[in-house]
């Protein structure tokens, strides 16, 4: 019995997805299986050379929600930590198509996968980040906060913004070789924080601290902590934020004390309490 290589399997799956004889379910199943293979960097490069990337980018235009969702899922998997695919995808118009999905009335599941693909495209790719800002990407993400039923996306957006801001900061603080200098110059073109401040995210982000899940709060506190240097005046003038921070402090003081009684000196809640206290300190 002949064992098929990943390459051969991907050729079959792409041809099933592309065949006009395939049913919608068969096409979705082909995409579902492809996602598993394109996670691997070499497979993703093969996927590119056999024309698969172009086809899934076209799939983002589909009128079928399930096809759109799975095309975005495959795209996100192929883009993850893969500069070659990132470059080809942005040249193939994927960024615009993903922003259209996020900006129009689509089911939550479709937007979730589109946001996953967008995040994979932007991470460690300053050129894409620059284009994202030029195309009004921040406004598109902000619009998700005004729509009912999109709450599960909020924390993902917060995490993405935090990661992108930190990515640039960490690079600027790192030791520079010549190659790094070029990368730093590319990042200097990405004016993400000024755009975040200009477009009202200083007011938007702290509201999410009212969410009950600790995991969500942790992510929001991280972003608030990074933005505090740029949003200080706004934060100081926001009485609701002051109240929320004091409430969180007393809640986490209790939970951290409980943790300590159970013998966990450097526990999760102690860390969250530390984040809250740092922000309160910064705003004095």
**Tokens of residue 42, six digits:** 């070499």
* Euclidean distance between CA atoms 98 and 60, whole angstroms: 7
Secondary structure letter of residue 208 according to DSSP: G
* Euclidean distance between CA atoms 66 and 116, whole angstroms: 15
Other residues' Cβ atoms within 10 Å of the Cβ of residue 32? 14
pLDDT of residue 176: 66
pLDDT tens across the length of the chain (284 residues):
778 999 999 999 999 999 999 999 999 999 999 999 999 999 999 999 999 999 999 999 999 999 999 999 999 999 998 999 999 999 999 999 999 999 999 999 999 999 999 999 999 999 999 999 999 999 999 999 998 889 999 999 999 999 999 999 988 777 666 777 888 888 888 999 999 999 999 999 999 999 999 999 999 999 999 999 999 999 999 999 999 999 999 999 999 999 989 887 789 999 999 999 999 999 99
Q: Which residues contact 84 (CB under 8 A, 6 or more apart)?
A: 44, 45, 48
DSSP secondary structure, 148-195, as one string: TT-HHHHHHHHHHHHHHHHHHHHHHHS---HHHHHHHHHHHT--HHHH
- Helical H runs in the chain? 6-18, 24-38, 41-49, 52-59, 65-79, 83-91, 94-103, 108-122, 126-134, 137-143, 151-173, 178-188, 192-198, 201-204, 214-236, 239-261, 268-282
Query: In whole angstroms, how far apart are CA 104 and each of 131, 205, 223?
Result: 19, 22, 26
pLDDT of residue 248: 97
**Tokens of residue 22, six digits:** 């395939």
Q: Where do the domains of the chain lie?
A: 1-197, 200-284
Q: Is 71 exposed, middle or buried (0-12, 13-18, 19+ CB in 10 A)?
A: buried
Q: Are 272 and 252 in contact (CB under 8 A)?
A: yes
**Tokens of residue 148, six digits:** 């009912």
pLDDT of residue 175: 67
pLDDT of residue 184: 84
Q: Are 224 and 209 in contact (CB under 8 A)?
A: yes
Pick the CATH number of 1-197 from 3.40.50.2020, 3.40.50.300, 3.30.9.10, 1.25.10.10: 1.25.10.10
């Amino acid at each position: 019995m002949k064992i098929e290589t990943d390459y051969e399997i991907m050729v079959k799956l792409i041809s099933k997805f592309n065949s006009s004889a395939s049913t919608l379910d068969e096409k979705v199943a082909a995409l579902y299986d492809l996602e598993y293979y394109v996670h691997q960097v070499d497979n993703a490069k093969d996927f590119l050379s056999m024309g698969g990337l172009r086809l899934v980018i076209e799939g983002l235009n589909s009128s079928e929600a399930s096809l759109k969702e799975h095309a975005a899922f495959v795209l996100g998997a192929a883009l993850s930590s893969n500069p070659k695919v990132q470059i080809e995808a942005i040249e193939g118009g994927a960024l615009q198509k993903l922003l259209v999905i996020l900006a129009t009335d689509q089911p939550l599941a479709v937007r979730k996968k589109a946001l996953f693909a967008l995040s994979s495209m932007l991470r460690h790719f300053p050129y894409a980040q620059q284009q994202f800002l030029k195309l009004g990407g921040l406004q598109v993400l902000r619009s998700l906060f005004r729509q009912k039923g999109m709450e599960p996306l909020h924390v993902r957006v917060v995490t993405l913004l935090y990661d992108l801001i930190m990515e640039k900061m960490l690079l600027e603080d790192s030791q520079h070789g010549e190659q790094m200098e070029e990368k730093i110059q590319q990042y200097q073109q990405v004016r993400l924080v000024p755009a975040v401040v200009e477009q009202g995210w200083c007011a938007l982000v702290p509201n999410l601290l009212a969410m009950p899940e600790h995991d969500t709060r942790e992510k929001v506190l991280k972003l608030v902590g990074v933005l505090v240097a740029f949003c200080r005046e706004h934060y100081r003038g926001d009485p609701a934020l002051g109240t929320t921070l004091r409430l969180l402090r007393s809640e986490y003081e209790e939970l951290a004390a409980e943790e300590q009684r159970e013998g966990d000196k450097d526990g999760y809640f102690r860390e969250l309490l530390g984040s809250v206290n740092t922000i309160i300190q910064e705003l004095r």
